[in-house]
Structure 1
Amino acid sequence: MTQNAKKSDEKRAKSGEEFAKDPLKDKIGTNLRQLYDSVVNEPVPDDFLSLLEQADKGK
């Protein structure tokens, strides 16, 4: 590994550590969890359920 590559890796690690302490990280994480939860809690569309039933019958 070259000296420049080592410096680049160290710089990235440091910036990652700084980001981990950033309040923006918490806000992003909170918003992503809320979005994920809203998608998970959406009802399954009737068309999709119908396709699943047809696939089960075709076995």
Structure 2
Amino acid sequence: MTKEPPNDADDLKKSGDHFTDKPLKDKIGSNLKRIYDDVVNEAVPDDFLALLSKVDTPNK
């Protein structure tokens, strides 16, 4: 008697992971949008703002 190796996708479905309910293309798209939104909403670091202000200031 041979036993089949466990299927990871089946294990995820049994565990109640609703992420597997959507097609892969939709999962990738929604996660990329979430990551993009997180990055866009991050504050600009003070060091970077200081560098930008130096660039904007004309040389004397």
State the TM-score bracket (shorter-chain normalisation).
0.5 to 0.7
Structure number with greater CO (CA < 8 Å, separation at least 6) is 2
Alignment of 1:12-23 (within 5 A): 23=23
**TM-score, normalising length: structure 1:** 0.58
**TM-score, normalising length: structure 2:** 0.58
Query: How many residue pairs get matched?
Result: 38
* Amino acid across the alignment from 1:57: T
Structure with more helix by fraction: 1
- What is the aligned-residue RMSD (CA, Å)? 1.6
Give the equivalent residue in structure 1 for 2:7.
Answer: none
Percent identical residues: 63
Q: Distance in 2 between matches of 1:41 and 1:34?
A: 11
**Structure 1 stretches of at least 4 aligned residues deviating more than 3 Å after TM superposition:** none
Unaligned runs of 5+ in 2: 1-21
Q: Distance in 2 between matches of 1:28 and 1:44?
A: 27
Offset of residue 30 of structure 1: 0.2
Unaligned runs of 5+ in 1: 1-21
Give the equivalent residue in structure 1 for 2:33.
Answer: 33
